[in-house]
Structures are given as structure tokens and as C-alpha cells.
């Protein structure tokens, strides 16, 4: 009887599981910190931050001096008096309201015109587009003081003295060229595939503008709104020229009004410095909380996908 040989079976080799692939360490994006574009070496980082710290101390010293001197005389009562008693027919809380209304009108006019012009100059192709854009940029070189006499006569003819719109219009006229520049550059960096896809789906210019351009341009729009409010808060020329009613005084005007009314006694000097601190609060808050929008608006869309 022959023995049937069974097939030879090799022992099963169990291989160790492969090690998971190593994920490369993610480098910090320049979007998280735009200063990384400039800072490339540790020595550069030390120098730049040292200079920024020194500049911060220099610019913060006047604010520190005003806060310190604001407690002269009645101490904290200087601040309480400013909110309860008007100074020279000028109410400090009302200056906040007037400045906010003026800044809102300024931002509304500038954003409305700049967004439409930015879309047209970046997405529409027509003859003379670059010449028109260059002509708009020329108005950036026009100083506000050169327009005092024309604006005074135009405001008088339109009956806009002691009217928020009368001040918002010249402010917007000087800001619109910058707004057009900002929105046009941002719109030029929007991916053309998105515009082409919307066009192939049958969308016209209005739908492309409303559903594609506006949502993508939100960082630039937020940047422009914050800048309009900041520039409107520090504007002294146009409110002083076109507002004669003390009840319509803005925060920038109130600084000069309080300086003329308050004397040089210790108590009044303390109230004057307290008014400087309170009048600077809105501008400081807009800068602190709006800095993120300003940085995002300037850096977002800087690269085209």
C-alpha cells in the first residue's frame, strides 16, 4: 500500500503591521500671522518686535499722561460730570451718537459705490477700463483742503448745512478712490473658474455679483467699513466747516470745543483731560476690535487659486 504524501505546508508567517505613515509637521500658515511674510529669521523677529514695542510705548505715552491728569481735581467725579452736564452746550454722550451716525452714512456710501465699481473694473471687460481705473486713482492725490471752497458752495446750494449727509458726502468722495482700489484688487484675485461656472449656469451679471462676488468679498468689505468708521471719527475739517449747531458736534469737534470752554484751573484741567480720554475711547475700540478685519481684508485673496 502506497502512502499518499500530503502536500507540504509552510508555516504561516505573520508579518508585523506596517507602521502608520508619518504625517509631516504642518508649518504655520502665513494667513495665521501675516508678519511671517516679512519675518524669516529669529534675528529679524527680535528686531521687528523690539521696534514695534518701542513705537507702542512712544504712542501710548500721551494716552497715559491724559489718563493720569484726568483725575486731577475731583478725581473720578470728572468723568461723572462729563456724562451728566454738557460743556458749552455740547453733550458728550450726544457726540458719540453723532459720530456713529456720520460714520454709518460714510461707510454706507463708500461701500455701495466701491463694491459696484470694484466688480465692474475687475470682472467686466470693456474698452478703456484701465484708463478709467487710472483716472480714479488720480483722485487719491487730491487733498481735502483743495476742495473746501467748492464743497462749501455745493453744500450751500443743496441746503445741507447742519445735516449729516452734508458731511458724509465729502468724506465719502475722498474715501471712494481708496475703496475702489481695494475692491478692484480683491476682485481681480477671485478665481475665474467660479465666475465662469456661474456664467455657464445661466447667471447674469447681477446674480454673479450678488451670489458670487459679494460673499467672497466679505473680508474686504469688513475692512473698508472699519476704516470708514475710523477715518470718520478722526475727521475734524468737514464737521467744523459744515456744522454750526452744537448739538450736532462730533467727537473730533468736541475736543476743540471743550478746550475753549474749560479754563486752566486744576479741576477744569482735569475735566478736560478726562474728556480727551472719553473722546478717544470709540476710536481706540474700533482700532482694537477692527484690526483683525483690517489684516484679513488686506491679506485674504492675496493669492489666486
56 burial via Cβ count (<10 Å: 0-12, 13-18, 19+): exposed
Structure confidence by residue, pLDDT tens digits, 183-213: 999 898 888 888 888 888 888 889 999 999 9
Place 286 in a pLDDT band, splitting at 50, 70 and 90.
confident
Based on its alpha-carbon atoms, the radius of gyration of the chain, rounded to whole angstroms, reads 30
Structure confidence by residue, pLDDT tens digits, 40-74: 677 878 888 899 899 988 888 888 888 888 888 88
Highest mean pLDDT among 4-18, 146-160, 256-270: 146-160
**pLDDT tops 80 at residue 282:** yes
Place 164 in a pLDDT band, splitting at 50, 70 and 90.
very high
Q: What is the pLDDT of residue 242?
A: 93
Task: State the number of CA atoms in the 13 A half-sphere of 60 facing the CB.
Answer: 6
Output the CA torsion 158→163→167→173 (10° steps).
-50
Contacts of 290 by beta carbon, 8 Å cutoff, 6+ apart: 226, 227, 229, 230
Distance CA 255, CA 270 (A): 14
Q: What is the pLDDT of residue 265?
A: 77
User: What mean pLDDT comes out for the span 156-163?
Assistant: 92
Average per-residue pLDDT for the chain: 82
Least confident of 23-27, 70-74, 219-223: 23-27
Structure confidence by residue, pLDDT tens digits, 222-280: 889 988 998 998 898 999 999 988 889 898 888 888 887 776 777 788 888 888 888 88
pLDDT more than 70, % of the chain:
82
User: What mean pLDDT comes out for the span 286-290?
Assistant: 79
What's the CATH code, domain 70-299? 1.10.3720.10
Query: 79 near 70, Cβ under 8 Å?
Result: yes
User: What mean pLDDT comes out for the span 76-99?
Assistant: 87
- Name the residue ranges covered by the structural domains of the chain: 70-299
Q: What is the pLDDT of residue 1?
A: 46
For 158-186, letters b (16+ CB in 10 Å) and e give eebeebbebbbbbbbbbbbbbbbbbbbbb
Least confident of 8-22, 155-169, 274-288: 8-22
Highest mean pLDDT among 117-126, 275-284, 292-301: 117-126
**pLDDT tops 50 at residue 302:** no
Q: What is the pLDDT of residue 30?
A: 46
Distance CA 135, CA 122 (A): 15
Amino acid at each position: 500500500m502506497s502512502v499518499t504524501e500530503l502536500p507540504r505546508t509552510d508555516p504561516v508567517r505573520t508579518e508585523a503591521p506596517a507602521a502608520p505613515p508619518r504625517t509631516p509637521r504642518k508649518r504655520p500658515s502665513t494667513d495665521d500671522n501675516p508678519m511671517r511674510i516679512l519675518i524669516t529669521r529669529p534675528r529679524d523677529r527680535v528686531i521687528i518686535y523690539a521696534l514695534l514695542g518701542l513705537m507702542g510705548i512712544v504712542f501710548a505715552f500721551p494716552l497715559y499722561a491724559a489718563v493720569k491728569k484726568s483725575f486731577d481735581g475731583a478725581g473720578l467725579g470728572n468723568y461723572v460730570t462729563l456724562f451728566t452736564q454738557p460743556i458749552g452746550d455740547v453733550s458728550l454722550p450726544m457726540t458719540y451718537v453723532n459720530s456713529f451716525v456720520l460714520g454709518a452714512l460714510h461707510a454706507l456710501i463708500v461701500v455701495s459705490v466701491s463694491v459696484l465699481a470694484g466688480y465692474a473694473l475687475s470682472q467686466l471687460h470693456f474698452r478703456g477700463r484701465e484708463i478709467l481705473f487710472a483716472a480714479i486713482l488720480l483722485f487719491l492725490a487730491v487733498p481735502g483742503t483743495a476742495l473746501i471752497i467748492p464743497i462749501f458752495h455745493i453744500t450751500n446750494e443743496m441746503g445741507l448745512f447742519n445735516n449729516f449727509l452734508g458731511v458724509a458726502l465729502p468724506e465719502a468722495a475722498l474715501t471712494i478712490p481708496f475703496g475702489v482700489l481695494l475692491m478692484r484688487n480683491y476682485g481681480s484675485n477671485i478665481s475665474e473658474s467660479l465666475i465662469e461656472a456661474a456664467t455657464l449656469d445661466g447667471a447674469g451679471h447681477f446674480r454673479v455679483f450678488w451670489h458670487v462676488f459679494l460673499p467672497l468679498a466679505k473680508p474686504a468689505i469688513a475692512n473698508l467699513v472699519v476704516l470708514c468708521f475710523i477715518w470718520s471719527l478722526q475727521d475734524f475739517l468737514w464737521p467744523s466747516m459744515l456744522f454750526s449747531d452744537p448739538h450736532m458736534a462730533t467727537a473730533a469737534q468736541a475736543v476743540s470745543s471743550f478746550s475753549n470752554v474749560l479754563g486752566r484751573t486744576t479741576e477744569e484741567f482735569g475735566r478736560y483731560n478726562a474728556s480727551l480720554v472719553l473722546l478717544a475711547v470709540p476710536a481706540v475700540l474700533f482700532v482694537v476690535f477692527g484690526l483683525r478685519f483690517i489684516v484679513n481684508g488686506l491679506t485674504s485673496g492675496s493669492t489666486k487659486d
